[in-house]
Structure 1
């Protein structure tokens, strides 16, 4: 089986990305998968590489590619149009989970508990900032709508009155087209934070929770990009069986409503034994430290959860009848029987 690892160079983190992709390639090659490690800068290069190498499947580490005219398209949509199988969720689903506001609305419509929120925009027709002011459900947490990995968050993102709310919203709207104004739960002492990694698809799925804590206590609990990048957080797999079951059950509904596929991660807060869905990372940057820690809760090692993701995608295509690839025997040999029973229909 030929798997193309597709990357675009990120100028801010070139060394980190090279190391991450090398680890991914090395791990998967050890499982009988032929790796084509390709950097592309535009849609034309993608089309050329697909024709030249004809991969069986593609794993794309980025969301978008531009064409020669500078128009941006979702990579998974481009792969759909090229009739090339790929690992991960559809372009439509990725767009949904990228939008914190759209995902929150979908969750609320389908009974998934999530903190109350409002939508601040530059467009007077859709802006709800006045509604947030009138509701006065302070404190609020302000987040750029379509940014992941806690980008755009710092301590000033938590506001306690109308003046702070208006100032922060206006500042963010200078940089971002939309902002989620969300009820902030971090002042509650009983608050705990979790992330649940998912590998697989409906009916064949691994759910793997971990608890996230800060190494140094903050006056106001908020995990920022700096906390993640500089390893100021600590992730521990959830071992308590009742808590693990309840988190997995809650996360599964959140994943199902969003319609994510193959792999994803859902952030969840627990306040006084009540769960709140916060957001879904529909395309985690694997290998990923938090995803790896989550996998320990299902007894998967750092060398096993990556091939498990590939296996989940292969199985999804096999069950739809779109492909007839044999699963590489080394993938079976590399994974524990418990994981195979969860991910492969015929192994149950």
Structure 2
């Protein structure tokens, strides 16, 4: 079996810790190599295919049996769907979610609309468009983020606002910088969790709790680019995650239930990581869904999906194998 590993690799010299979030969604060469090495335990050959303008011709000529897809795409609001669309056009089966799901889950507003339509709790929200009205019918404090970004791009210490003046200033800057609408949602102050799901139907991996109490004075006390890529980095060394989270059976059951319902509602496949907080009623409320979760292999880097898999007893190679074999079974491919 010949497998294409479709991905976007960080350019040489780039570091998320620099504060420049331009390529924050891309994968480090070490991650790409670790996935390739893991895949070689399950197939004959793996060719890395960079998800750029030349990808289509490489996929067309590659004679691939399957693609293991972690590609973020290079531009556009539905960029995570670019490589899957090419693969479907060429008749190459692939791991992970399909074109429609990836287009929706990168669009935070559309994701929340699907959640609401399926009775899944999510914070009240509103979309601010470029050049549109900045009036808001939501209760402060509010949380702002670019509508179509991942890896916490555009989510900074200034994303939490407490007044109309702050809202207008931060939203205007965000629209100008990222050239897209801004999602505004009511900020929930309850405990925050991230949940990994693996397989079809999905296994819910041990829940990760995200906490900010140990961060130094002056650091944001919510998940944002600075927390994820600077404070919680190898160089600085703050750990904002606990896995498995300390949960009673009732809360764990409710978190797992909403995670599986979200997976089903958005027609996610093979793997997923979603973020949620407890709302004012103590109920899990989903605020983000990542159908292409990060797969950084080094446990010290606190990549949350692998961290949950390690807590479940999987090695990195077994995690990649579970995703790979889930895709094969779903596609009816036998090795």
- Distance in 1 between the 2:106 and 2:7 partners? 19
Task: Give 1:180 deviation, angstroms.
Answer: 0.5
Counterpart position of 1:196: 195
Given that 1:5 and 1:35 are in contact with CA atoms closer than 8 Å, whether structure 2 keeps it comes out as no
Given that 2:196 and 2:273 are in contact with CA atoms closer than 8 Å, whether structure 1 keeps it comes out as yes
Structure 2 unmatched runs, 5+: 16-22, 233-237, 298-302
Counterpart position of 1:221: 221
Give the TM-score of the pair, scaled to structure 2.
Answer: 0.82
Task: Give 1:302 deviation, angstroms.
Answer: 2.9
1:184-263 alignment, distance < 5 Å: 184-186=187-189, 191-201=190-200, 204-208=201-205, 209-214=207-212, 215-216=214-215, 221-230=221-230, 231=232, 232=238, 233-238=240-245, 240=247, 242=249, 243-263=251-271
1:107-256 alignment, distance < 5 Å: 107-122=115-130, 124=132, 129-130=134-135, 132=136, 135-175=137-177, 176-186=179-189, 191-201=190-200, 204-208=201-205, 209-214=207-212, 215-216=214-215, 221-230=221-230, 231=232, 232=238, 233-238=240-245, 240=247, 242=249, 243-256=251-264
User: Of the two, which has the highest radius of gyration?
Assistant: 1
Q: 1:104 to 1:50 in 2, by over 3 A?
A: same
Given that 1:2 and 1:33 are in contact with CA atoms closer than 8 Å, whether structure 2 keeps it comes out as yes
Give the TM-score of the pair, scaled to structure 1.
Answer: 0.79
Counterpart position of 1:24: 35
Counterpart position of 2:318: 304
- Distance in 2 between the 1:28 and 1:36 partners? 7
Counterpart position of 1:40: 50
1:316 to 2:319 alignment:
no
Task: Give 1:217 deviation, angstroms.
Answer: 6.2
Task: Give 1:224 deviation, angstroms.
Answer: 1.5
**Which structure's residues are more often strand, by fraction?**
1
**Which structure's residues are more often helix, by fraction?**
1
Q: 1:123 to 1:77 in 2, by over 3 A?
A: farther
Counterpart position of 1:290: 304
Structure 1 unmatched runs, 5+: 327-348
RMSD of aligned alpha carbons: 2.5
CA deviation map 1:56-88 (0-9, x unaligned): 11123223258xxxx997110011001000111
Aligned residue pairs total 303
Q: 1:197 to 1:140 in 2, by over 3 A?
A: same
Task: Give 1:117 deviation, angstroms.
Answer: 0.6
Q: 1:306 to 1:244 in 2, by over 3 A?
A: farther
